[in-house]
Structures are given as structure tokens and as C-alpha cells.
Amino acid sequence: MADIGELVKLGDGRWARFQQCEVSSTGLSILVAVELDERTQRLLDAAEFGSPLELDEVREEPRLELADVGAPSEVAASVQ
């Protein structure tokens, strides 16, 4: 069983994070694996394989959108 926020490597080699999503008008929620952005994919691959990164790539500011990090309540919970 996966936990919210857990990182997983999918069968195609891409990284994803488990996120809880509400099912519209049901009061239920499901746990889904949501693929991470390209920058995070590269950073995780480099960490896994111990490969060097260009310094500019590491310093690059991520462009986050609400869809990238989940619902505001999840963001607040992960920051605290």
C-alpha cells in the first residue's frame, strides 16, 4: 500500500508521486500516481544513478502550478 506523497518509479522509468484525489460529487477519494515535472524527473534520475548535473540545471527555479503539488490542504500539510 502506498502513502500520500510517496515517490515511485513507474514501469516506463518515469517518476510519480502518490496524491489523493477526490471523486466529484461522491465524497470519496482515490490514491493516484501523478507524474512529476521534467526538472524533477532529471534530478531524481541523477540522484538514483549518481550522475552529475549541470550547475545551471540544479539552480533552475521550478515553475510550480497547483496541479503539480496537489490541493492547498495537501500543500499546507506537507510544508508543516
pLDDT digits (tens, 9 = 90+) for 1-34: 678 889 999 999 999 999 998 888 898 999 999 9
DSSP 8-state code for residue 24: T
- pLDDT of 55 > 80? The answer is no
Q: What cell numbers appear for 61 in the block?
A: 527555479
Q: What cell numbers appear for 70 in the block?
A: 496537489
Angle at 27 between CA 23 and CA 29, to 5 degrees: 45
pLDDT of residue 45: 87
- Listed residue (28, 30, 3, 39) closest to 18, CA to CA: 3
pTM over 0.85: no
What gap in Å lies between CA 43 and CA 49, rounded to an integer?
A: 10
The mean of the pLDDT values for the chain is 75
pLDDT of residue 62: 59
